[in-house]
């Protein structure tokens, strides 16, 4: 049985990844300091003898070396997310996302890990007008968060070149799904819109709403991570749906699914650091077998149902 480690495994994406890895017969160590993750996300899987939870930080190199001992793969999901948060506190984002990734790579190198799969971000592309975004485009980060993800990618490349540690960096495009926290000050747009609609409030759109995003369902992201680990793939790969939608259209889709036609959207001033358009070219990830299965129309009802049950 292969041992794997999921950093940030109690988080939104990490907990879905843990669940699927256990289903596939892996022995899974979950490392999370619960600063943004929730123990309730992984508590149900801890009845399995193949799952263990370690509360700790990727800032703790000694702990990382201990947790990664004997691991074949590391799925590095731990991060301090959010563009607005990074603008407010760039140093905190750097310590977790850049220095924390360096620590993970050091511990992986020292333990002879086969591959590190790193959760990067489409934000590294910035607001370059060319669509779709292709991996060999020049990065143009527009926020401290994007800079930290790009720095972490470069560490991954260097560790592969200098130390022979295999790495795959997956640039996520607007991931959504159950367990994404709508109550966070830095919540993503989909849980925010759904929570507003479920309580009869107006979803708030920053800007004119004609900005576009490539939204990716969390189960597709989980599949991409496992395919990247189990294949020979190394380097940087886009993980998206390969299609885009305006934020205005997204809001209308959510209002329709919630079933309250009286709800109207509200527009406010555009936010600093937000990009206008995003769309992934996912053909490179296709080389290791990635094929997104979920459309927005299929994924959104699952998120609405999840948040409805939370009340």
DSSP 137-188: SPP---SHHHHHHHHHHHHHHHHHHHH--EEEEEEE-SEE-TT--SSSTT--
Q: How confident is the model at residue 186 (pLDDT cuts 50, 70, 90)?
A: confident
* Res 311: pLDDT: 76
- Contacts of residue 152, defined as CB under 8 A and 6 or more positions apart, other chains included, come to 97, 98, 101, 102, 118, 120, 169
Q: Is the pLDDT of residue 182 over 90?
A: no
Look at residue 130 and tell me whether its pLDDT is greater than 90.
yes
- Kindly report the CATH number that applies to the domain delimited by 3-175+218-241+279-293: 3.40.50.720
Say yes or no to pLDDT of 83 above 90: no
Flag whether pLDDT at 170 surpasses 90. yes
pLDDT given at position 128: 85
**2 backbone dihedrals φ, ψ, rounded to 5°:** -80, 135
pLDDT at 273 over 80: no
Distance CA 259, CA 308 (A): 12
Compute CA distances 63 → 18, 32, 57, 71, whole Å. Answer: 20, 11, 8, 14
Residue 259's CB is within 10 A of a number of other CB atoms, namely 10
Query: Does residue 275 register a pLDDT over 90?
Result: no
**What was the pLDDT predicted at 305?**
97
pLDDT in tens, 48-57: 999 999 999 9
Determine if the peptide bond prior to 132 is cis (ω within 30°).
yes
Which two structure tokens, joined as six digits, stand for 252?
Answer: 């209308």
Model confidence at 185, pLDDT cuts 50, 70, 90, reads confident
The residue among 206, 174, 209 whose CA lies nearest residue 188 is: 174
**Which is nearest to 218 in space by CA: 12, 44, 6?**
12
- Over residues 56-82, the mean pLDDT reads 97
Convert the pLDDT of each residue in 33-46 to its tens digit.
999 999 999 999 99
Which two structure tokens, joined as six digits, stand for 33?
Answer: 């300091």
User: Given pLDDT bands bounded at 50, 70 and 90, which one contains residue 85?
Assistant: very high
pLDDT band of 304, cuts 50, 70, 90:
very high
Q: Are 18 and 6 in contact (CB under 8 A)?
A: yes
Question: What confidence category does residue 129 fall into, taking pLDDT thresholds of 50, 70 and 90?
Answer: confident
CA distance 95 to 79: 10
Q: If you average pLDDT over residues 104-110, what whole number do you get?
A: 98
Decide if pLDDT at 187 tops 80.
Answer: no
Q: How confident is the model at residue 302 (pLDDT cuts 50, 70, 90)?
A: very high
Quote the radius of gyration of the chain (alpha carbons, Å).
Answer: 19
Cα(59)–Cα(81) distance, rounded to whole angstroms?
Answer: 16
Distance between CA atoms of 58 and 38, rounded to whole angstroms?
16
């Amino acid at each position: 049985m292969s041992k794997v480690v999921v950093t940030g495994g109690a988080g939104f994406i990490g907990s879905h990844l843990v669940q699927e890895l256990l289903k596939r017969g892996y022995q899974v160590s979950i490392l999370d300091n619960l600063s943004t993750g929730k123990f309730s996300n992984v508590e149900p899987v801890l009845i399995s003898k193949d799952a263990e939870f370690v509360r700790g930080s990727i800032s703790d190199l000694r702990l990382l070396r201990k947790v990664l001992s004997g691991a074949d793969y590391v799925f590095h999901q731990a991060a301090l997310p959010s563009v607005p948060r990074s603008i407010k506190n760039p140093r905190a984002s750097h310590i977790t996302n850049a220095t924390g990734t360096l620590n993970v790579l050091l511990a992986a190198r020292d333990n002879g890990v086969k591959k590190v799969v790193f959760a990067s971000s489409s934000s590294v592309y910035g607001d370059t007008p060319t669509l779709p975004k292709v991996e060999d485009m020049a990065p143009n980060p527009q926020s401290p968060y994007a800079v930290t993800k790009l720095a972490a990618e470069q560490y991954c490349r260097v560790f592969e070149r200098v130390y022979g540690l295999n790495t795959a960096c997956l640039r996520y495009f607007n991931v959504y799904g159950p367990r994404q926290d709508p109550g966070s000050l830095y919540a993503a747009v989909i849980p925010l819109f759904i929570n507003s609609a479920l309580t009869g409030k107006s979803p708030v759109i920053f800007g004119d709403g004609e900005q576009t995003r490539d939204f990716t369902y969390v189960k597709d992201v989980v599949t991409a991570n496992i395919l990247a680990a189990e294949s020979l793939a190394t380097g940087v790969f886009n993980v998206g749906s390969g299609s885009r939608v305006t934020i205005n259209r997204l809001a209308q889709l959510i209002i329709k699914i919630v079933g309250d036609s009286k709800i109207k959207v509200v527009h406010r001033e555009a936010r600093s650091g937000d990009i206008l358009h995003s769309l992934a070219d996912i053909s490179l990830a296709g080389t290791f077998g990635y094929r997104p299965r979920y459309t927005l129309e299929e994924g959104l009802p699952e998120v609405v149902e999840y948040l409805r049950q939370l009340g």
